[in-house]
Structure 1
Amino acid sequence: MATLIDNLSEAAKARAARHPEKQKRPDSPIQRKPDWIRVRAPVGEVFSETKKLVKDNGLVTVCEEAGCPNIGECWSQKHATFMILGDTCTRACSFCNVKTGMPAPVDHDEARRIGEAVVTMGLEHVVITSVDRDDLDDGGAQHFEDVINAIRNASPKTTIEILTPDFLRKAGALEQVVDARADVFNHNLETVPRLYLSIRPGARYYHSLRLLERVKERDPSQFTKSGIMVGLGETKEEVMQVMDDMRSAGIDFLTIGQYLQPTRKHAPVDRFVTPEEFRAYETIARAKGFLMVSATPLTRSSYHAGDDFKRLRAAREAELAKA
């Protein structure tokens, strides 16, 4: 019993170190996952190689930091989503497992190491995301540009997808990142407007929506992408309204996945959405005009990103051929 208590105490200390702002929140029991959302433990030689490459190059991945359930599948195929600008976020979203606090100074050599990792892994498509850096005057825009340029120089044929923060109150930051010309510009709305105060308190729904619209206004050739989680207490009607808002902003690609509660201190799962409901959401979204839709319980922003990018590009070409 003493050993169990000690282990629980160590686990609680680890949670507190990652999320000090959540420690006064009441515990929410973590629900047992249904059969359709369980995944295999990560194993295999290629998985181990990917893990070693990430570690040896001093890189950070959102796969690890956010506790992504697809890490075993993706890393076994040498797919990893690099998280730049450190491992510590200045926001305190109630759904996210990335560490919260004051980040370290920007590592200006990170761009070079990511470029080298892309070459070593032979990536045809790479996804770059970041923590929020409200402490920086540009929100990290210059670093995004540096990373994009480093990948272009190291591996010119690799297509690049970025998943950015909202650059709230960072004048000129969005324009700088758009002008770096990634192939896909992703920024997640995460949830419906009604739930922002409890789920994403540091962000603003209409600012995020407008950010994606501004990407299209500045560079119509860039694909735009956004995603939401379901199972947080939203209604079907609210999800469909978000779809309409996204289409009004010209968003090309929609992802919808099941929210999974990282710890007892995070927002609780309201319910597990069934695979049938996800298929219904996909049908509705395609009818609304998205070029690409991924809606499954395990869908995440960068899940199957390379294959999905090829489908996205083919869908645009087919649409242009009709014009």
Structure 2
Amino acid sequence: MKAVVENYRENIKLKKKNSILHYLKRDSFLYLLLLLPMAYILIFRYAPIYGVLMAFQDYNIFEGISGSEWVGLDVFKFIFEQNSFYRALTNTLVLNVLDLVAGFPAPIILAILLNEIRYVPFKKMTQTVLYLPHFLSWVIIGGMVYLLFSSGGMANTVLSSIGIGKIEFLSQKTNWLIMYVVVGIWQSVGWGTIIYLASIIGINKELYEAADIDGCSRLRKIWHITLPGIKPTIIILLILQIGRMLSIGFDRPFVMGNSLVSEYSDVISTYVYRIGIGSGDFSQATAVGLFQSVVGLIFLVAANYIAKRIGEQGIW
């Protein structure tokens, strides 16, 4: 009988230890630290989802979501009949593809080059200089680009002084595309190398030592050790970037664009700004944003599925 009672008491203690209250009491300080980020996510990520209902309404700002008339998919039908929407959609895809092709390999190459630098002070100084553009706002970067590459900017002044003549960097469409991609790489490449450098540091150093014993050159070690070592990181970041193919920041195309290149610079984010804030048509702006999110989710799932099918590690 005594053994049964002891066993019962042990079961009660075990249940208490496994209860939620037990963990809340034991790790109360950690849960308090979790409250702030959870509140941020709930307020700024989940609460605005309620506004998606505007995409299915003839939204009236004075009547609000609860009082506006429901129109079903009429807003989407209207949007898909607009040539300006397809132009913005095409430009978004083109600019993101250019960023993917030219910008995605850039931090990988830069991280490998930085990793190969043996003089530590120069390496640290280079990293600091390369990271700095990430902390500049696009308004500042846009002003710098205009001062340097506009028709009367420093670059054209130098070119004219040596007899080459002016080049319309920001008003000729092809040149603008090149400038858009190059400036984007310059702004983000240094920050993007942090992830790859961290991944390179995690590679087993004994592999490099064995390669040195075998007489491998630096290029051989990069090709057979470094790149395979950071391959999972590359795949995951590639999947995430493909998932953002329809998402494009507002500030970069808005600041760098102008009326002469609006055929290329008008993207989904500026389109939403123009019809939502400029024209006050919040239903159309919400519908475009919802379409953008759904298609982005499809791209993300498809990229992850393809990665898993070819034997790589996906996001989930």
Same fold at TM > 0.5? no
Q: Which has the higher contact order (CA 8 A, sep 6+)?
A: 2
| Bucket of the pairwise TM-score, normalised by the shorter protein | under 0.3
Name whichever structure is richer in strand by fraction. Answer: 1
Name whichever structure is richer in helix by fraction. Answer: 2
Q: Which has the larger radius of gyration?
A: 2
Q: TM-score with structure 2 length normalisation? A: 0.23
Q: TM-score with structure 1 length normalisation? A: 0.23
